[in-house]
Amino acid sequence: MDLNTTHKVIVSLQDEFRLSRAALHALRRMHKLRKLSIQGIPSQFAQLLHGVSFKLKNFTCTDPLDQRMYRFLDKQREIWELSVLHPVGPSSPEDVPNSILPNLRVLHSITPDLAAALIPQRPISHLEIHCWNDKEVKDFIPQLRAARSLKSLLIAQGFKVTAKDLSVIAAHLPLLSYLGECWLSDSPGDYIPPLSLMRNLQTLVVSHSSLQDSPLQVQFLQAIRIHCPHIQRVIFSIVLTPFRTWEVVNGQWAFIEQPSPDLCYHLWCRESSVRISDTE
């Protein structure tokens, strides 16, 4: 492997791992490294990234962000995609320095707390978070007011949204084109007015468990077609796996047979798919 031209590296470390001088030297020679995934951070993390010259576009880690991570990210000004796969977020948004990640566009976060801290002052267009209970969703919805550039919002592990919540989203996210996975906690008809205001929304993912009755699903689709003609696709899903998928074909709803199991996620991320070579 030519270290001088390497673009992507996955580093898997265990707690007992001890970094050798050779490993450190190799990482520091990867001047063109653009994508780095760190799995299982040992106590020598600061040593691992000290003195590197690469400028990342994409960074993934399984450790929570802390001060040493913030110092590293503050030097990586070109990162546009960040994945933090740890359930513990910052104690307060003030813990996250305003100076880090000024070009962040795509954020994958296990916790809404990190998303809430990073949304302000950053051009985030694609957001994937996990909410583990109704309170997390209720607390997070108001934070979206600052996400004016958001185009795709995916909330996994349950997203019980009221019609009032959807009105907040409609009022503050004018560019939103993808929304899911919504658990409808009110009458389906109550969601039509806010959906009609979301002029750029094309894909709506609804939890099948919240609207299991087939006739109600059909009525919901008919109301969307009349009042929300901009919506071109509605997916009734089970844990982000399509159960019933409908798309507009020639002005009418058409049932899509056997859609891809990862369709919900693919539609969320397709606009954010940028090759390394396109971002250098």
Question: Are residue 253 and residue 143 in the same domain, yes or no?
Answer: yes
- List the domain range (segments joined by +) for residue 19: 1-124
Confidence of residue 225 (pLDDT cuts 50, 70, 90): very high
Say if residue 84 is in the same domain as residue 35.
yes
pLDDT band at 71 (very low <50, low <70, confident <90, very high): confident
Residue 133 lies in a domain: no
**Based on the domain organization, do 110 and 163 belong to the same domain?**
no
Report the distance separating Cα 35 and Cα 279, nearest Å. 11
pLDDT tens digits, 148-203 = 999 999 988 667 899 999 999 999 999 999 999 999 999 999 999 999 999 999 99
Rounded-to-integer distance, Cα 191 and Cα 181, Å: 14
Q: Which one-letter amino acid corresponds to residue 131?
A: C
pLDDT number for residue 11: 61
Which of 63-77, 195-209, 225-239, 255-269 has the weakest average pLDDT? 63-77
pLDDT the model gives residue 226: 97
Of the residues 124, 152, 184, which one is the last residue of a structural domain?
124
Residue 207 to residues 128, 214, 236, Cα–Cα distance (Å): 16, 13, 6
15 pLDDT band, cuts 50/70/90, is very low
Which residues, at least 6 apart from 145, have a Cβ–Cβ distance to it below 8 Å?
Answer: 168, 172
Percent of the chain clearing pLDDT 90 (strictly above): 57
Residue 280 lies in a domain: no
CATH number at residue 211: 3.80.10
Does residue 159 sit in the same domain as residue 259? yes
Q: Which residue has the higher pLDDT, 278 or 103?
A: 103
Task: Specify the number of domains making up the chain.
Answer: 2
pLDDT of residue 277: 40
